[in-house]
Structure 1
Amino acid sequence: MIRKCRFAAMLAFSAMMSTAALVQAQAADLLSTLNSTHVLTIGTSNDAPLAYIDPQTKAAVGALPDLLRAALPLMGVKADVRAVAMPFSSLIPALQAGRIDMIGDGIYATAKRRQVIDFTSNTFYNPEALDVAKGNPDNLHQLSDLCGHSAGTYEGTTYVDQLKQASAACPAGKPIDIHLYPTIQNVFADLTAGRLNAGVVDSSLSAYALKQNPALSFELVADYKPADKAGSACAFGVTKGNDAFLAGFSKAYATMLADGTAAKIFTKWGLTPTSFFLSL
C-alpha cells in the first residue's frame, strides 16, 4: 500500500511539473525568446517587394524583413531575420503550430484574424488593385463591372470574400467567374495569358511586378477605388500572449515612422509615394 501511495504521489508530482512547464512555455514572450535564440523566423508567401527569399543567398529580403532589421535593435534585440516560404493560406496555421515565430507578410490585421492571433501596430496600408489586360478592353473599373467576367485572386486573402460579395450582387445569370490560385504569381500568369479578365490583388505587389517586368501585358485600373483603405492596414502577426514584444515593437516603429526610417525602406523597394502606403 505504501509503495502504491508513493508511486501515485510521484505520478501526481510529475503531472504537476509537466503542467507547470507547459504554462511557463506558453507564457514565454517572443521578446525573451529572441534574446535567447537570436533568430527570428518569419513566414512569407514569397512575394517581392514585401518579403521573399533571395534565390541565390537564401536570405530573407524585402521591405518587411528590412523593417524588422531596423526595429529589433531599437527594441534591444540582436537577432537574425530568416524566412520560410509557404502559400498565404498556410501562414496562420504555421504560426499556430510553432513552425514560424511571426507572419512577415502583407497580411491584413482583421478582427476575424485577431480572434486567433495577435498583431503588431500597423506597418503599412496595402489596398487591393484591380488588374486588367493592357488597354482595359473590357472597360472594367469597379468590382461591380466584373459581373459576367472572370476574376482571380489568391487563396487565403480577404479579396476572396470581396469577390464573392460582389458576385452575389450581380444580376441573375451573370455572376463573377471567380478563380482562386495558390500564389499571386499564378494570378499574374493567367491574366497575362488572357485566361482571366481581371485580377484583384495587392496594389503594392501589382505595381512592383510591372516595374520589374514592363513586358507583363496587364495594367492597374487607375480610377479603381479600394473598398476600404483603412481596412487594408497590414501588420506582423504573432501568437497570443506576446504583449512585451508587441509593446516594444509599437514604440520602435513609431520612432521609425517619425524619423523617416520606414519611408527610406519603402522607397528602397519601390513602394512610392510612401505616403500612400504609410498613412491613410
Structure 2
Amino acid sequence: MNFKRRMTMIAAAVMVAGLAAGCGSSSGEDNATSIPTVETNATLNEKLPQAIRDVGKLNVATDATYPPMQFFDTDGKTMIGFEIDMGNALGDLLGVKMDWTNLSAASIPPGLEGGRFDLALTSAQDLPERREVMTFVDYFKVGSSLLIEAGNPKDVADLKSMCGRPLGVQAGTAQLMYLEDHTSDCPEGQAIQIRTFPTNDAAVTSLRAGQVDAVFSQDNANAHIVKQTSGQFEMLSDSYEPTPVGIVLKKGSPLTGVLHEAMSELVTTDTYSKIVEKWGLGNNVVDTVTINNGEA
C-alpha cells in the first residue's frame, strides 16, 4: 500500500479495532473483581494545562462498540469495559472528570486534530505510520488472530491457508493494513479475498452466515466473542504482529508528559492489575508505559 493511501486510511478511521457487540456482552465479564479507589495526585493535577484544570475535565473520544475494551452495558446507555475503567481511574488520579463521547471511529481523528477532544481511548494500536499524525501513550498490547466457526468446518489453519479464500475484516483497522501489506505472501492469482465490513460485528455475522471463512481481528476481541457465544466460534492460536495499544493524542499535545506519568503510576499499582483481572486480559499487560512504543 502506498504512503498516500495509507495516510488517507489513517485520517479516515485510524483507531478502529473491531467490535462484537451483537455477539453478547456482560458487565465486567461476570467478574466481581473490586477496583481500588484512586486518590488524586495533586502534583500530577498541577501539571495539567491550566485550561483543563479550570474546567475540571478531559474530553475523551471512544468508539464504544468493542467489548471487552469499551462497549455499552445491557441498559444501552452506560459505557463499560477495560478502557472505560482505566480512563476513569486515570481521571481520578489526575483529579478531573473524564467526559466520554461515543462516536464513529472515522470522526475521532478530526475531532482530536480540531481540539474537540483532548484524547481518545478506543483500543488503538500504536503503529509507526499512525505516529505521523498522532502520539500514543502505550499501556497495553494486543496481537491479531483468526476467528473461525467452532469445529473448523472450513479447515482454516493460518493466514497462509486463507489464500484464495474470503476473509472478513473491519474497514480502517490495523488488521486490514496488515493484510494489505502482506498480499504478496500468497501465490500469484490466489490472493486472500479481503471482505471489509463497517464493524467487526458485521464481519462476525458474515462468518456466521458462511459468507467468509474466517474473521481477522484483535486477539482480545476474538477471545471475548468465543466466550460470549457459547461455542459458536473458536480462535486459532497463532497471533500476528503484537503491538502496543495506547491513549491517543494529537501530535504535540501538551498532555503527553503528564498522561505518561499518570498511567505509569496506575500500571505500577493494584489499579491496573485489578482492572486487567476484571476484564480477563492478563495476557495483554505491559510492565512499562511508553510513548510511541519507546521511540519518543
| TM-score bracket, shorter-length normalisation | 0.7 to 0.9
Q: Is the 8 A contact 2:226 2:235 kept in 1?
A: no
Classify 1:32/1:140 alpha carbon distance in 2 versus 1 (closer, same or farther; 3 Å): farther
Deviation at residue 198 of structure 1 after TM alignment: 1.0
Match of 1:113 in 2: 130
- SS of 1:123's partner is strand
Amino acid at match of 1:64: E
Cα drift, residue 166 of structure 1: 3.1
**Residues 219 and 239 of structure 2 are in contact (CA less than 8 Å); yes or no, is this contact kept in structure 1?**
no
Q: Kindly indicate whether residue 49 of structure 2 is the aligned counterpart of residue 35 of structure 1.
A: no
User: C-alpha distance in 1, partners of 2:250/2:165?
Assistant: 39
State the alpha-carbon separation in 2 of the partners of residues 56 and 32 from structure 1: 36
Q: Does 1:95 align with 2:95?
A: no
Point out where structure 2 has 5 or more consecutive residues left out of the alignment.
Answer: 1-46, 288-296
Number of the residue aligned with 1:257: 267
Cα distance in structure 1, aligned partners of 2:72 and 2:115: 20
1:188 Cα deviation from its structure 2 partner = 1.2
User: Larger % of strand: which?
Assistant: 2
Residue matched to 2:152: 136
Distance change in 2, residues 1:177/1:55 (3 Å): same
Moved over 6 A (4+): none
Which protein has the bigger helix share? 1
Amino acid of the structure 1 residue aligned with 2:239: K
TM-score for both structures, normalised by structure 1 = 0.78
Secondary structure of residue in 2 paired with 1:264:
helix
Task: In structure 1, give the amino acid aligned to 2:191.
Answer: P
In 2: Cα distance, 1:150 partner to 1:73 partner: 45
Q: RMSD between aligned alpha carbons? A: 2.2
TM-score, length-scaled by structure 2: 0.74
Task: Tell me the residue number matched to 2:246.
Answer: 235
Cα distance in 2 for partners of 1:134, 1:57 equals 29
Equivalent pair of 1:84/1:100 in contact (CA under 8 Å): no
- Residue equivalent to 1:219: 234
Following the alignment from structure 1 to structure 2, what is the Cα–Cα distance between the partners of residues 135 and 191? Answer: 13
Structure 2 residue identity aligned to 1:32: Q
Contact 1:132 1:218 in 2 (8 A): yes
Q: Is the 8 A contact 1:148 1:174 kept in 2?
A: yes
In structure 1, C-alpha distance between the alignment counterparts of 2:253 and 2:48, rounded to whole Å: 6
Cα deviation, residue 30, structure 1: 6.8
- Which of 1 and 2 has higher RCO (CA within 8 Å, sep 6+)? 2
Q: d(CA) in 2 for partners of 1:203 and 1:31?
A: 36
* Cα displacement (A) at 1:255: 2.0
Q: Does the aligned pair in 1 maintain the 2:225–2:233 contact within 8 Å?
A: no
Give the structure 2 partner of residue 44 of structure 1: 62
Alpha-carbon spacing, 1:196–1:96, altered in 2? closer, same or farther (3 Å): same
Deviation larger for 171-180 or 77-86:
77-86
Number of positions where the alignment pairs a residue of Structure 1 with one of Structure 2 = 240
C-alpha distance in structure 1 between counterparts of 2:90 and 2:115, whole Å: 22
